[in-house]
Amino acid sequence: MQNFIHPDMKDVTLDAVLYALADPARRAIVRALAADRACEGTGLSCNAAAPPDLPKATMSQHYAKLRAAGVVRATRKGVSVIHTLRCDEINAKFPGLLPAILGAVDV
Amino acid sequence: MQNFIHPDMKDVTLDAVLYALADPARRAIVRALAADRACEGTGLSCNAAAPPDLPKATMSQHYAKLRAAGVVRATRKGVSVIHTLRCDEINAKFPGLLPAILGAVDV
DNA sequence: TTCGTTAATTCAATAAATCCGAACAATTGA
DNA sequence: TCAATTGTTCGGATTTATTGAATTAACGAA
């Protein structure tokens, strides 16, 4: 599985970010990571941030898409993979986007 | 084809809106409608707002998704279908979302 | 070192969504 | 009524998503 590849911010497109955030499961993950950052800020394992009933293969694909889109960053820590939101970077490139999406009352 | 159905704003979900805006062709349409509103404000025909090289079957599907998501409103005017952005409504329900997306330099 | 456990990824098969040419429908003007 | 214009709908090929099963990775204990 090797170490994770994260796109440089100059290669992160609005298209990919919106696509990544257009899925409710992925948005739930991003919300959890955002909440974690606001509190602990230590990052969360895949399982910790994903919706509880999500099959793990599906979960893993969602994380792969979030990483590829440049939305999250992953590092291995023991048997877990810890994810953090690339919050400041996204905010710098797409000002207001994350707040607008995370702030919305998701229906 | 009948008259177009537009969802009531209470039934418009963030999920659907983000999904609609996650596609570059649809975002191009929305940008064109936003620009029109800023200038003429009269609405644009499908062809006028869509990317020029888009096959019309595809274009039509994109508009259908934008309508279903609650992002645009359509009315028939002669042989044309005129679309307008449901700008204020979306802004009221998802504050900051449209500005963040339309304001971004699309890559 | 070798198991066993936990955590996540990859594979492969199926299911669902998208794209677009061709046919169709709606409207207008001649 | 006919032709032209503008979109929509249909159908099939292509692409993408989902998920169970197999696999990889890291760790701790014996």
What residue numbers bound the domain in which A33 lies? 9-99
- Cα–Cα distance, A38 to A32 (Å, whole number): 10
pLDDT score at A82: 98
B22 touches strand D (CB under 7 A): no
**Which pair of structure tokens corresponds to residue B14?**
């963030």
Residue A44 CB coordination number (10 Å): 22
pLDDT score at B2: 64
- Does the residue A3 lie in any domain? no
pLDDT at A1 over 50: no
Mean pLDDT for all residues in chain A: 95
- Assess B95–A contact: CB distance below 8 Å, yes or no: yes
- Does the residue B2 lie in any domain? no
Confidence of residue A105 (pLDDT cuts 50, 70, 90): confident
Distances (CA, A) of B32 to A78, B28, B35, B43, B60: 49, 6, 5, 10, 16
Mean predicted confidence (pLDDT) in A31-53: 95
Task: Give, for B77, the enclosing helix (H) or strand (E).
Answer: strand B72-77
Q: Residue A63 is part of a domain; what is its CATH number?
A: 1.10.10.10
pLDDT at A43 over 80: yes
Question: pLDDT means per 10 residues in chain B (107 residues)?
Answer: 86 97 98 93 95 97 98 97 97 97 85
B44: β partners: B83
- Does the residue B23 lie in any domain? yes
B13: phi then psi, degrees, rounded to nearest 5: -105, 150
Contact A101 B19 (CB under 8 A): no
- Does the residue A2 lie in any domain? no
**Is residue B69 a contact partner of residue B11, using CB atoms and an 8 Å limit?**
no
pLDDT score at A2: 63
Buried b / exposed e over B24-43, threshold 16 CB at 10 Å, is bebbbbbebbbebbeeeeeb
- Does the residue B90 lie in any domain? yes
Give me the amino acid identity at B91.
N
Residue A69 C-alpha, separation from nearest chain B C-alpha, in angstroms: 12
Number of structural domains found in chain A: 1
Give A74-87 pLDDT, tens digit per residue: 999 999 999 999 99
Largest CA distance in chain A: 37
